[in-house]
Chains A and B, each alone.
Chain A
Amino acid sequence: MANEIAKGKAEPGCAKVDPILVADNVLRQFGGLTAVDVKHVEIPRGQITALIGPNGAGKTTFFNLLTGFDKPNSGTWVFNGKQLAGVPSYKVARLGMVRTFQLTKALSLLTVMENMRLGSQNQKGENPLAAMFRSVWRKQEQLVTETANELLTRFKLDAKKDDFAASLSGGQRKLLEMARALMTKPTMIMLDEPMAGVNPALTQSLLDHIKDLKKEGMTVLFVEHDMHMVRHISDWVIVMAEGKIVAEGPPKEVMKNPAVIDAYLGAHHDSDLGAKKKAGK
């Protein structure tokens, strides 16, 4: 399995057979704290990659950097052959790399349908001069609405389409956010903790939706805490700890990696700290 995705041995920063995103020396410091320090990482195209790591590992910060929501101190990354460092977030989205947020950002006082329509790209009616003339954008609006209806049906939100997004449950908002991101017709979708705060009944359907994205040829990169979920759906796992990538590999192998266990449980989890106090660290 490792050989299908990685070129050589599965190790931190290993080369992929067909990478869609390649990042080099991405460094982000907040004052004296180094939040992200990624030397080299490649995300495989058309696969589901999980980015895991304990709290404060820098996963979300790394996400923000890649999508232009935060600026690194240094570093470059190439998405689909395009240099993305310094590109503003909205242009990153237009290039086909679309993200969702850890704390869901449903646009509360817009209806579910309006939320969906907003995701569509290159809308003529979004130009202030054209907005006044309905005839200019009416046709396109119909097409956008059709696409939105299809997606809403797929995500089982069609009954809710005229309700305010604020009236949705936490899980439904996650679904809406994912559906809305799909309205942009992305090539790569980045999900920041898609499972957080979702009730167990909805988790399975969320997982299925993520698998569907892969079937449609999209690349998925997602941040997750829950190792269990990760094992179920990901093809490849990248582990971060203290801002660095400490391990990579297929899910089953990564879980056995001592670096991962250390990252999650602490390097001294199996030693008696009290007894070694004198020796110090």
Chain B
Amino acid sequence: MEQILANALGELLTPMTAAYALAAIGLAMHFGFTGLLNFGQAAYMLVGAYAFAMSTLAGLGLVPAILISFAASIVLSFVLGIPTLRLRSDYLAIVTIAAAEILRFIVSTTGLNDVTGGPQGLSGFARDFYSINPFPAGEYGFWAWTMDEKGLWVRVVAWSLVIIAALFVSKMIRSPWGRVIKGIREDEDAVRSLGKNVYSYKMQSLIIGGMLGTLAGIVFVLPRAVQPGNFGTGLTFFIWTILLLGGAATVLGPIIGSMIFWVLLSLTDGLLSAGVDSGVITFITQNQIGGIRFMLVGIGLMLLVIFRPQGIFGNKKELYFNG
């Protein structure tokens, strides 16, 4: 029992949780603050992961690799945004979800084995990152949060990035720029009538949120290999879940949302698994747990959207005026 709890609480600080939080902060910029329906955050993560891995494997240093990832991310924003941002918001949704899948199929084709690793993906690209690890070898942390020096290094970097991203976004949102962005979310014609170039602001928001997604992609693959299967639509929808869980128009929401999401997933997994092992739960098998826990999370999300649509950190006052 304690092990189940320890496993679940261990999720609080994993690089995975941090990566999802980062991606969700980017999505908060898109959807929560600007009202852009981006259903392709996985595409930005994929671009980050692949651009970073391919650059470092080509022998480039960490900094150029990150810059190349950002450049690729900006290009993606232009490709997605130029045709759709002048149209109604649902067009962006369609284009982003399609683009994410197209990118995933492209990188996983065997024809590109030499470049993207095809279905196998890429690995061994993070050596440079771990070679600058300032922590000496050894065991760190306690109880649920025990890790080796590699684990500590990647956690420190990942969560520092999350904090920087959160501070950056909250500063941006409180500036006059953020005011325009939020105005666009409420009614873009009104903002247009006040002399603001709405199209340009939407593009800026798409780029900024996309870059956060790209950064999330890099953090996501640092402790593991790049595998195309990881960047499916499921990834996008987990990020949406996290965003709605925490509160779409908040900065802290995505971070806490990501923590809750992963702790709950691990907890349901552990509890169901223990239940099946001990014979308390008889109607499912060990193999079905993976699916069942997502159903439970799905039900939880439905309840959340029904009873607390503004998310955990959302301002309840904002809700009185919906509709």
28 examples of A-B residue contacts, CB within 8 angstroms: A89-B192, A90-B196, A93-B195, A99-B193, A100-B193, A105-B187, A108-B321, A110-B182, A114-B179, A114-B182, A118-B179, A118-B180, A118-B183, A118-B191, A118-B196, A125-B175, A126-B176, A128-B172, A128-B204, A128-B208, A131-B172, A131-B175, A166-B320, A167-B321, A180-B194, A181-B193, A181-B194, A184-B194
Q: Counting CB contacts under 8 A, is A94 at the interface?
A: yes
Chain B contact residue count (CB 8 A cutoff): 30
Given the complex of chains A and B, what is the CA–CA distance between A128 and B180 in angstroms?
11
Q: Tell yes or no: B88 within 8 A of A by CB.
A: no
Establish whether residues A89 and B193, one from each chain, have CB atoms under 8 Å apart when the complex forms.
yes
In contact, A125 and B193 (Cβ under 8 angstroms): no
CB closest chain-A residue, reference B318 = A109
- Given known contacts A114-B179, A131-B172, A131-B178, A126 and B196 CB-to-CB distance under 8 angstroms: yes
A141-174 CB mask vs B (1 if < 8 Å, else 0) is 1000000000000000000000010110000000
Find out whether the CB atom of A164 lies under 8 angstroms from the CB atom of B321: yes
Whether B190 lies near A105 (C-beta < 8 A) is yes
> A244 on the interface (CB 8 Å rule)?
no
Contacts of A167 in B (CB 8 A): 320-321
Number of residues of chain A lying within 8 A (CB) of chain B: 44
Interface residues as binary, A113-134 with B (CB distance below 8 Å gives 1, 0 otherwise): 0110111010111111011101
B168 at the interface (CB under 8 A from A): yes
Chain A CB within 8 A of B36 CB: no
Q: B312-323: contact bitstring with A at CB < 8 Å (1 yes, 0 no)?
A: 000001101100
B72 → A minimal CB distance (Å): 20
- Complex-state Cα separation, A231 to B177, whole angstroms: 42
A233 contacts B by Cβ under 8 Å: no
What residues of chain A lie closer than 8 Å to B168, measured between beta carbons?
132
- Interface of B, secondary structure class, is helix
Q: How far is the CB of A35 from chain B (nearest CB, A)?
A: 18
The CB with the most chain B CB atoms within 10 A, among A93, A109, A110, A141, is that of A109
Q: Which residues of A contact B180 (CB under 8 A)?
A: 118, 126
Closest A residue by C-beta to B197: A90
Q: A107-B187, A109-B318, A128-B172 are in contact. Are A94 and B177 (CB under 8 A)?
A: no
Residues of chain A within 8 A of B191, CB atoms compared: 107, 118
Q: Within 8 Å CB of B176, what residues of A?
A: 117, 123-126, 131, 137, 141
> When chains A and B are docked, how far (Å) is the Cα of A123 from the Cα of B201?
14
> In the bound complex, how far is the Cα of B199 from the Cα of A90, in angstroms?
10
Asked if residues B318 and A117 are in contact (CB atoms below 8 Å), the reply is no
| Interface assignment of B259: CB less than 8 Å from any CB of chain A | no
Q: Does B198 contact A (CB under 8 A)?
A: yes
Residues of chain B from 153 to 177 with CB closer than 8 A to chain A in the complex:
168, 171-172, 175-177
Nearest CB on B from A163, distance (A): 10
B190 to chain A: which residues have CB within 8 Å? 101, 105-107, 177
A27 to B189, CA, bound (A): 22
Chain A residues with CB below 8 A from B185, complex form: 109
User: Are A118 and B321 in contact, with the CB atoms below 8 A?
Assistant: no
Contact present for A125 and B186 (CB under 8 Å): no
Smallest beta-carbon distance A240→chain B, Å: 22
Across the A-B interface, give the 3 residue pairs with the lowest CB-CB distance, nearest first.
A125-B176, A166-B321, A131-B177
Interface: A69 (CB within 8 A)? yes
CB contacts (< 8 Å) of B204 on chain A: these are: 128
Is the beta-carbon distance between A94 and B195 smaller than 8 angstroms? yes
Whether the pair B175, A134 counts as a contact (CB closer than 8 A) is yes
What is the chain B residue whose CB lies nearest that of A64? B189
Q: Name the CB-closest residue of B to A99.
A: B193
A187 interfacial contact with B, CB 8 Å: no
In the docked arrangement, what's the CA distance between A181 and B190, Å? Answer: 10
Which residue of A128, A141, A184 contacts B195 across the interface (Cβ within 8 Å)?
Answer: A184
Shortest C-beta distance, B182 to chain A (Å), equals 6
**Complex-state Cα separation, A124 to B177, whole angstroms:** 9
Contact partners of B321 in chain A: CB under 8 A: 108-109, 164, 166-167
Residue numbers in B under 8 Å from A123 (CB-CB) = 176
Distance of A118 Cα from B175 Cα, bound (Å): 11
**A234 interface residue (CB < 8 Å to B):** no
Interface residue from A98, A108, A117, A126 paired with B186 (Cβ < 8 Å): A108
Q: Which of A67, A137, A141, A164 contacts B193 (CB 8 A)?
A: A67
Instruction: List 11 additional A-B contacts (Cβ < 8 Å) besides A109-B182, A110-B182, A114-B179.
Output: A107-B187, A108-B186, A114-B182, A119-B194, A123-B176, A127-B177, A128-B177, A128-B208, A131-B172, A132-B175, A164-B317
Across the two chains, which residue of chain A brings its CB closest to B198?
A90
Q: How far is the CB of B285 from chain A (nearest CB, A)?
A: 48
Q: Cβ of A100: which chain B residues have Cβ within 8 Å of it?
A: 193
Q: Report which of B177, B183, B192 forms a contact with A110, defined as CB distance below 8 A.
A: B183
Residues on B with C-beta less than 8 A from A164 are 317-318, 321
Give chain A nearest CB distance to B98 CB in angstroms: 28
On chain B, the residues within 8 Å of A115 by CB distance are 183
CA distance A109 to B319 in the complex (A): 9
Task: A184 to B194: give the CA distance in the assembly, Å.
Answer: 7
Q: Which of B176, B204, B318 has the most CB of A within 10 A?
A: B176
Q: List, in ascending order, chain B residues with CB within 8 A of A99's CB.
A: 193
As a 0/1 sequence over residues 132 to 171 of chain B, the CB contacts with chain A under 8 angstroms (1 = contact) are 0000000000000000000000000000000000001001
The CA of A107 and the CA of B189, in the complex, are separated in Å by: 10
For A165, the closest partner residue in chain B by CB is: B186
Q: Is the CB of A69 within 8 A of B187?
A: no
| Residues in chain B near residue A94, CB distance under 8 A | 195
